[in-house]
Amino acid sequence: MKNKIENLELDVIATYDKPQVLGLGYDDVDSFEDSQEYFKIPMTEGSLKSEKSLIDYVKAYLDGEEDDLVKFSLCWVCDKELFEDFKDKYETISLSLHRNGKYAFNSWADEFSFKVDTFREFADFDRIVKELV
């Protein structure tokens, strides 16, 4: 894998608005229907250039139909001692944390964006109040 970042992975839960046929596609492994899929992926330098590159990178690992995708829930996986360094080096990690690791798509996008913007307003309000006091 080109430009793999050692000791950094991403846990992903992809949520769909209707059940998907998921599975490994091997004859000896039955596929199944579910509205969520879970996977862990290694991270690369290119995948962390921007939030768009991160989302595109994660979407490449999907088993389900992208048109039915409604949400990613992301969790960064690394040693605790390394996390601050990764967060400082890659702005995309900090941006995803600001979103609580959640990205909404398709039918959930508008409602979720409203909730994220509202949360940010409250978070900024608290910070501003602390600065004024």
Residue 104 has phi, psi (to 5 degrees) of -105, 150
Report the candidate in 13, 63, 54 with the shortest Cα–Cα distance to residue 33: 63
Going along 1-133, which residue ranges are E strands? 4-22, 32-44, 69-77, 102-104
In a domain, residue 63? The reply is yes
Please report the pLDDT score of residue 1 as a whole number. 64
Which residues, listed in sequence order, are joined to residue 125 by a DSSP beta bridge?
none
Report how many domains make up the chain: 1
User: Is 127 domain-assigned?
Assistant: no
**Which stretches in the chain have pLDDT values below 70?**
1, 23-33, 111-133
Residue 12 lies in a domain: yes
Residue type, 80: K
| Radius of gyration of the chain measured on its C-alpha atoms | 17
User: Does the residue 118 lie in any domain?
Assistant: no
pLDDT confidence of residue 20 = 77
pLDDT at residue 75 in the model: 96
